[in-house]
Structure 1
Amino acid sequence: MAMPFHLTVKLGTYLMKQKLRGVKKYPLIMELEPLYACNLKCGGCGKIQQPAALLKQRMSVETAIAAVEECGAPMVSVAGGEPLMHPQIHLIVEELLKRKKFVVLCTNAVFLPKHIDKFKPNKNFAWMVHLDGIGDRHDEAVAKKGVFVQAVEAIKLAKSKGFAVYTNTTVFNTDTPQDLIDTLNYINDDLKVDRLEIAPGYAYGKAPDQDRFLGVTQTRELFSKAFAEGRRKKWRFNHSQLYLDFLEGKQDFQCTPWGVPLYTLQGWQRPCYLLDDGYVDSWQELLDTTDWDSFGRGKDPRCDNCMAHCGYEPTAVLATMDSLRESLRAMVSH
């Protein structure tokens, strides 16, 4: 499976316009972090390691919308921290939907039941609930007991109210191929979410636990075994076929660091969602003053083990657009 058809059309139209205009660097998805604060302390995430003064701040609705309009991305992933801790998060989503953006709201889902009635189902909106395993495995990843049960109940509630629900599963070196198979089967077959996303975890510099991240060889071995025997075809992935090939080691790409830019309380993060080399005030400044050729596997040691979709999915999407064969493959996979 691949992205929903209407989203594929939206993205394809946007990409064609950029190509016709001769634009070389443009965002496919914008990551928006309107806060750093979170109710959990996951070992693989460094967001809450920010200074206390930053953890107290919340981005204004006007600032968030201005940043999205500035870069022009057709899709916006609203993350954090925990977005549902932002008192105006529903207003940010409303304004983005008015502008015909496709919006996913990333959440650990603990607060979702409390706030769900502030949102309305929309074909351009989906909840993205993090599930990094079944039962205790997920609770261990988020460092708090009972969160898995809360997340599952929130998913069921959201689906009962007519919302699209996606999940995001981060894979670490503590996971076996069978762990991943069991997790994806449960999410796909039992919870019946609309789309699944997966990614090998990235070693954030501020992450409390630096010993859980996969290397490239480990990643390829794990995903090739998990995807074997036709399992990959049955899971409703929200990924391009070429990115899934990449995870298995059937394709090799350089990342596209400007494809999924991040806007935070501090501005546009340089150079990408995963690396924090400072901030600039505008999208154009980010494009013009970043040495993009300095990043990627073999160029910056921090990139050597990265296979995250925020860097490689844009490359895979662009490669799909440039190939008639891959474009047809993407259409058939729906």
Structure 2
Amino acid sequence: MGIPLRQIARVGAYVARQHLAGRKRYPLVLMLEPLFRCNLACAGCGKIDYPDAILNKRISVEDALGSVDECGAPVVVMAGGEPLLHKELPKIVEGVIARRKFAIVCTNALLLEKKIDQYKPSPYFTWSIHLDGDQEMHDKSVCQSGVYDRAVAALKLAKAKGFRVTINCTFFNDADGARVAAFFDTVTALGVDGITVSPGYAYERAPDQKHFLNRAATKELFRSIFRRGDGGRKWAFNQSGMFLDFLAGNQAYHCTPWGNPTRTVFGWQRPCYLLGEGYAATFKELMEGTDWDAYGVGNYEKCADCMVHSGFEASAVRDTVAKPWKALGVALRGVRTEGPMAPEITLDRQRQAEFVFQRNVTQKLSEIRKAEAEEKARKAANAA
């Protein structure tokens, strides 16, 4: 089983309470990005294309834990950038665990051997190591040789020290189903506790724009993978069965971006983990002030090919709670890999993409410089 029973029970109870309370929108997983800086430059990543003044910014421990409290989601995923570059990440993780939230640190693992003794195993803590396939696939994905071997060595070390360890995989249009299935066999033999999978999202700032999957290709790829693993039951996934069924084209979900709200050094990111079209000062402002209907497949051009877990896992969980017999069927039979697919969402009425990245960066740089000038003036006044 990819998801621990403790987590299933606590998250399930949380979701049930939201449904009983009649809440239409609620967070499931807080995506906390305490920094944007990374020690890799992956061709398919659009998360780190910022000036140094922004890459040098960090969310403080106080602000990070304040965001955890403000949001209230039962799971907190710390990503980036590379979160292990944040010197106070151990304190953030400790604070999340102390709140009985499930803390997951997504890392490329290059610093894990050096930093691992700053953390303690806990049923509320998971390392999620980035591996986009076998050695050749992963090193190509991260644009640096030797990274796969270092990540696997770190994975083995973390397991030896008693940590729960999963992997997160992003696949592009050059992925081969048979090869991915063989990779899943390999990491399963290594003892990983779960696998998180996702098709790559077409970040507008990613250096490589040629290898992103469209929705049709995504469904065919995951059918090809799952049919080689007993409908996916051969491997332990750290995701709901209904989301895996969605990846294979058997469910037609609309995204629920509020299910994975994102907090960055800029504030609460609108509308989702993948798109930074604006920022809110508070979680309440994000939830109540975002025009959610302006985004999603069929509504916005940038969302047209998205099937990423950060947008659709919460949709799958909601469906699981509302119709548990569907989820039971997938669990018993596996993901269906043959036959007709669910109808696709029409794109006829989607609005055109807006490109606001540079405007947001300019605004944030202005705010940073203003704050630095005020701090300099304050220090000068105190010294006088």
TM-score (norm 1): 0.97
Offset of residue 184 of structure 1: 1.2
Residue equivalent to 1:247: 247
Q: 4+ residue runs of structure 1 moved beyond 6 angstroms?
A: 330-333
In 1, the alpha carbon distance for the partners of 2:57 and 2:125 equals: 25
1:37 aligns with 2:37: yes
Deviation of 1:240 after TM superposition, in Å, equals: 1.0
What is aligned with 1:215?
Answer: 214
C-alpha separation in 2, matches of 1:329 and 1:77: 29
Q: Distance in 1 between matches of 2:22 and 2:245?
A: 28
Residue 100 in structure 1 maps to residue 87 in structure 2: no
Task: State the Cα distance separating 1:179 from its structure 2 match.
Answer: 2.2
- What's the counterpart of residue 78 of structure 1? 78
Range moving further from structure 2, 176-185 or 209-218? 176-185
Gaps of 5+ in 2: 334-384
Structure 1: 5+ residue stretches without partners: none
- Could you report, residue by residue, the CA deviation over 1:246-300 in whole angstroms, capped at 9, with x for unpaired residues? 1111111111111101000000000000111011100111111111111111110
> Hey, what's the Cα distance between the residues in 2 that align with 1:225 and 1:107?
27
8 Å CA contact 1:197–1:237 kept in 2: the answer is yes
Residue 11 of structure 1 is matched in structure 2 by 11
**Higher Rg of the two aligned structures:** 2
Aligned to 1:138: 138
Q: Quick one: which amino acid aligns to residue 233 of structure 2? A: K
Equivalent residue, structure 1, for 2:342? none
Cα 1:309/1:130, change in 2 over 3 Å: same
Alignment partners' CA distance in 2, 1:186 and 1:231 = 18
User: Given the alignment of the two structures, is residue 49 of structure 1 paired with residue 49 of structure 2, yes or no?
Assistant: yes
- Percent identity between matched residues is 46
CA distance in 2, matches of 1:281, 1:329: 42
Could you tell which deviates more after superposition, 14-23 or 307-316? 14-23
* 1:112 Cα deviation from its structure 2 partner: 0.1
Give yes or no for contact 2:41–2:143 (8 Å, CA) kept in 1: yes
Cα deviation for residue 332 of structure 1 reads: 6.6
Query: What displacement does 1:181 show?
Result: 1.1
Letter matched to residue 197 of structure 2: I
What letter corresponds to residue 219 of structure 2 in structure 1?
R
C-alpha distance in structure 1 between counterparts of 2:332 and 2:137, whole Å: 35
Partner of 1:197: 196
Greater relative CO (CA pairs within 8 A, separation 6+): 1
* Counterpart position of 1:299: 299
What is the deviation of 1:20?
Answer: 2.3
User: After alignment, is 133-142 or 93-102 more displaced?
Assistant: 133-142
Q: Within 2, Cα distance between the matches of 1:94 and 1:180?
A: 35
AA partner of residue 200 (structure 1): P
**Greater Cα offset, 146-155 or 228-237:** 228-237
**Does structure 2 conserve the Cα–Cα contact (< 8 Å) formed by 1:113 and 1:154?**
yes
Q: Is the Cα–Cα contact under 8 Å of residues 2 and 241 in structure 1 kept in the other structure?
A: no
| Partner of residue 88, structure 1 | 88
Do the aligned residues in 1 keep the contact of 2:76 with 2:101 (CA within 8 Å)? yes
Per the normalisation by structure 2, the TM-score is: 0.84
Map of 2:313 onto structure 1: 313
Displacement of 1:142: 0.5
In the alignment, the residues of structure 1 paired with residue 8 and residue 331 of structure 2 have an alpha-carbon distance, to the nearest angstrom, of 9
RMSD, aligned CA = 1.5
Q: Is the 8 A contact 1:2 1:330 kept in 2?
A: no
Separation in 2 of the partners of 1:35 and 1:163? 24
| Residues 53-100 of structure 1, C-alpha deviations (whole Å, 9 max, x = no match) | 011111100000001110100000000100110000000000000000
Paired AA for residue 4 in structure 1:
P
